[in-house]
Amino acid sequence: MQKFAETVYDESSAGVVGRFLQAINDGDALAFWRLLDRQGKGYFMGMWFYALGSMDLGTVALLAEDENFLKDALAQIVGDLKTSLGPLLKNPAVGVVRYTDSQHAVVQVTAGGTGEQPHRDYIPLVLELASPGEQHGEGRSFDVNVGMTCWKVDTLKCFSFRKHETAQ
């Protein structure tokens, strides 16, 4: 078994972006969910709370960790992302992190063979503090130091992030 710090909190920005793209390509709603930042998760949970009407927030929070619920609730979003990012999901080259400020960054993803115009996009990331008892990989739960940071996909920026046709 790998050490927890080596697999989650020391993971590079490129590793997070690679796992994000892989989750989209595989249609893995649970992995996709776990890579989203807290603000994005809060957005979805608020929508579910409103849509489900009679449920309390505690129940919605429990549903947000249920793999079957996430498959149903996020299938359309993950599917739409797979369609829109299609060319980038085939052998993506994940670039280096480019900080926009002390907590935010973007990582360029490029795909395309020789002789054709490469496809490019940028995945926005945010550094977040870890929560104690977060679950990662194979449903394992770990007690962590809440002062540790980890990269997460900046969900709201990702879904509204403007596509870049040329390298900056």
Residue 168 has pLDDT above 60, yes or no: no
8 Å CB contact between 123 and 17: yes
What pTM was estimated for this model as a whole? 0.79
The domain spans of the chain are 4-160
Express each pLDDT in 56-78 by its tens digit: 888 999 999 899 999 999 999 99
Question: What end-to-end distance do the CA atoms of the chain give, in Å?
Answer: 40
Q: Which helix (H) or strand (E) holds 49?
A: helix 38-52
pLDDT tens-digit profile of 99-108? 999 999 999 9
